[in-house]
């Protein structure tokens, strides 16, 4: 089974370009592009040190990814590292089409999945922050119960992450029934759970349980954010 190409986008991280010049060589059968700047790039280029990044660490990151291509764990990949609005690394490696021996190039067009989640998540948090939307959290047992209810009534198996939205739908539907009201409930169904049958099996076997992180654990995990600047708080209106 062939593995698809990968796209790695990293912004605002302390990763760096290393001792690899634009004339670095590729291993036979595993091409990679040069590191020279692309003309008419929307972002200027900079040396890692100019934006406070470690050249050696970025080199190690790049070479580790290339080793995955050489080991045939990845068919191809494209790396783009941007810090403070400046490109410190942009390189493609491996194959865009291994069957036709087409090398991966920078600015390749990818068919990717699940990449809408960071954008939709950010937009949702902005709406919550502005009081235009209410956020609700459900533990996993309630979500799987909702997923099974939908699977048995509608004939298709929802993905576990979709079950979180469905748990809210079930709550709203039951509330409307208790109130004797007819309501139209709009739900964004994000995907099927055919590849997650193992998780459903664990749920049906009683091997799953709800877990709440202790306040101390959350506070300890949040300490790492103290070393980073706080993002600008932007409102839509």
Residue 45 C-beta-side C-alpha neighbours within 13 Å: 13
pLDDT of the residue at 191: 83
pTM of the model as a whole: 0.54
What letter would DSSP give residue 48?
A: G
pLDDT of the residue at 18: 28
Query: Which residue is associated with the tokens 């009534």?
Result: 153
Which pair of tokens denotes residue 150? Answer: 């939908």
Q: What's the rounded Cα separation, in Å, for the pair 22 and 28?
A: 18
**Beta strand pairing call for 86-97 and 102-103:** antiparallel
User: Rounded to 5, what percent of the chain is helix, strand, coil?
Assistant: 40, 15, 45
pLDDT of the residue at 236: 66
Parts of the chain with a pLDDT under 70: 1-25, 231-232, 234, 236-237
The count of residues in the chain is 237
Ordered structural domains, the chain, with CATH: 6-112 (no CATH), 118-227 (3.40.50.1100)
Give the CA distances from residue 173 to residues 31, 50, 149, 167, 185, in Å, rounded to whole numbers and listed in that order: 55, 56, 12, 10, 8
Angle in degrees, 0-180, between the axes of helices 140-154 and 197-204, rounded to the nearest 10:
110
Return the biggest CA–CA distance within the chain: 73
Which residues are within 8 A (CB) of 216 and not within 5 positions of it... i.e. 6 or more apart? none
What letter would DSSP give residue 228?
A: S
Report phi then psi at 223, rounded to 5.
Answer: -65, -30
Q: What's the rounded Cα separation, in Å, for the pair 178 and 161?
A: 27
């Amino acid at each position: 089974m062939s593995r698809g190409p990968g796209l790695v986008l990293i912004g605002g991280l302390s990763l760096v370009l290393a001792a690899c010049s634009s004339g670095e060589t590729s291993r036979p059968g595993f091409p990679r592009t040069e590191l020279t700047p692309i003309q008419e790039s929307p972002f200027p280029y900079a040396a890692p040190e100019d934006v406070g990044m470690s050249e050696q660490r970025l080199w190690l990151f790049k070479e580790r990814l290339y080793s995955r291509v050489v080991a045939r764990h990845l068919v191809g990949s494209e790396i783009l590292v941007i810090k403070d609005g400046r490109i410190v690394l942009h390189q493609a490696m491996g194959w865009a089409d291994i069957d036709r021996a087409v090398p991966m190039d920078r600015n390749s067009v990818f068919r990717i999945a699940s990449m809408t989640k960071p954008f939709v998540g950010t937009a949702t948090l902005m709406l919550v922050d502005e009081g235009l939307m209410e956020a609700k959290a459900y533990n996993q047992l309630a979500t799987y119960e909702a997923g099974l209810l939908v699977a048995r009534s509608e004939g298709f198996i929802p993905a576990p992450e979709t079950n979180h939205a469905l748990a809210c739908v079930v709550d709203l539907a039951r509330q409307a029934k208790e109130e004797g009201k007819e309501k139209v409930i709009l739900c964004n169904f994000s995907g099927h759970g055919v590849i997650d049958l193992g998780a459903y099996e664990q749920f049906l076997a009683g091997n799953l349980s709800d877990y709440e992180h202790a306040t101390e654990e959350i506070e300890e995990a949040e300490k790492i954010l103290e070393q980073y600047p706080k993002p600008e708080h932007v409102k839509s209106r």
